[in-house]
């Protein structure tokens, strides 16, 4: 039988977790495959990239959507459990769970906003294939960024310090990994968490403050950081947080005479993706167009005697 689409897998997956026990994704894939009557050949059917089983991929996306809606909770790497909300949905005798059904939950709506364009493209089919692929890419990237941020927020503070070092080195700052590691997190000087070289030669330095603030970072924190830079006669600083910055904080940075860069959680996750920190490439796709310079001009027909069929 054909591999069910990921929406058709959501209710069976939630029902499987209805026993209130912790489940592993691997075990869920095996159990659901048996329940849905998939053959070994069905289970081995791969995505076009050839990197992953289509069924495994769809179960994974089903779990992601259910978790974003608050029906499942991730309890560890590759582990999940049903939530009170998920039990309530099951108790209502729901016949099918779809994306439209999940939109009743605000958390899912916030998550799904980034994927609305791809949904529109798939339904209307008015955009070009390149636009559809780009919309798909942006949807996957937005989901990955949110997952990275969620994981960072529950990781130990020391891990966050190491992540900041890895990211800055990956972006070309700090010289060697060893140099950056001894600089960041060592000073502890009123608003300054570390100092890192701006380039490999150390011609200039950048002062850093990196904190996992729970709420939005206001202008007071940024003003204190700017004061610390003044105390060190420094002109450049980077303020990194897993949360966001208020408008007042952003406006203060625009007015202050020093060069201060604010990196909030969303931008932090984007930079991690761009510089391959905490992520692993899964597949690469190339879009190609015809190289008109390779082919002869139509006027060459008179010389060669050949006919040029535009359909070829």
Tell me the domains of the chain and their CATH numbers.
6-153 (no CATH), 157-274 (3.40.1350.10)
pLDDT at 10 over 90: yes
69-73, 138-142, 194-198, 304-308: the lowest-pLDDT one: 304-308
Closest CA to 204 of 182, 232, 226, 181: 232
CA angle 289, 290, 291 (to 5 degrees): 115
pLDDT at 125 over 80: no
Instruction: Using DSSP bridges, classify how beta strands 184-189 and 259-263 pair: parallel, antiparallel or unpaired.
Output: unpaired
Tokens 């991690």 correspond to 272
Give percent above pLDDT 70 in the chain. 84
For the residues 219-226, what does the mean pLDDT come to? 90
* pLDDT-derived band at 136, boundaries 50, 70, 90: confident
pLDDT at 275 over 90: yes
CB 260 within 8 A of CB 250: no
* Six-digit token string for 203: 């011609």
| Rounded Cα gap, residues 86 and 20, in angstroms | 10
Strand order in the sheet with 72-76: 23-24, 79-82, 72-76
Burial letters for 57-91: b for 16+ Cβ neighbours within 10 Å, e otherwise?
bbbbbbbbbbbbbbbbbbeeeeebbbbeebeebbe
CB 205 within 8 A of CB 196: yes
pTM of the model: 0.69
pLDDT at residue 126 in the model: 44
The four Cα atoms 67, 70, 73, 78 give a dihedral, to 10 degrees, of 0
pLDDT at 241 over 60: yes
Give SS3 for 300: helix
* pLDDT-derived band at 302, boundaries 50, 70, 90: very low
* Six-digit token string for 140: 């996957």
- Backbone φ, ψ for residue 152 (5° rounding): -60, -40
pLDDT at residue 169 in the model: 86
pLDDT at residue 129 in the model: 64
| Rounded Cα gap, residues 153 and 266, in angstroms | 12
| Rounded Cα gap, residues 309 and 312, in angstroms | 6
């Amino acid at each position: 039988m054909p591999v069910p689409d990921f929406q058709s897998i959501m209710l069976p997956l939630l029902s499987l977790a209805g026993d209130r026990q912790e489940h592993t994704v691997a075990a869920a894939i095996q159990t659901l495959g048996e329940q849905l009557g998939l053959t070994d050949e069905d289970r081995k059917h791969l995505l076009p990239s050839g990197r992953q089983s289509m069924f495994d991929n769809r179960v994974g996306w089903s779990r992601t959507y259910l978790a974003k809606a608050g029906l499942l909770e991730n309890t560890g790497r590759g582990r999940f459990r049903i939530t009170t909300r998920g039990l309530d949905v099951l108790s209502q005798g729901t016949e099918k769970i779809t994306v439209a059904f999940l939109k009743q939950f605000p958390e899912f709506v916030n998550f799904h906003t980034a994927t609305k364009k791809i949904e529109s493209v798939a339904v209307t089919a008015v955009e070009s294939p390149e636009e559809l692929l780009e919309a798909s890419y942006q949807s996957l990237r937005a989901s990955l960024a949110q997952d990275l941020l969620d994981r960072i927020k529950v990781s130990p503070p020391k891990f966050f310090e190491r992540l900041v070092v890895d990211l800055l080195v990956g972006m070309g700052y700090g010289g060697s990994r060893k140099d950056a590691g001894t600089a960041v997190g060592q000073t502890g000087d009123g608003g300054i968490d570390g100092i890192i070289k701006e380039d490999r030669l150390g011609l200039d330095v950048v002062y850093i403050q990196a904190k996992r603030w729970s709420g939005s970072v206001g202008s007071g924190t940024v003003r204190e950081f700017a004061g610390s830079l003044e105390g060190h006669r420094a002109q450049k600083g980077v303020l990194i947080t897993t949360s966001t910055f208020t408008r007042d904080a952003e406006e203060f940075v625009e007015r202050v005479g020093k060069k201060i860069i604010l990196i909030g959680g969303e931008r932090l996750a984007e930079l991690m993706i761009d510089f391959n920190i905490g992520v692993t490439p899964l597949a690469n796709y190339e879009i190609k167009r015809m190289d008109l310079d390779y082919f002869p001009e139509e006027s060459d027909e008179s010389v060669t005697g050949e006919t040029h069929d535009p359909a070829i």
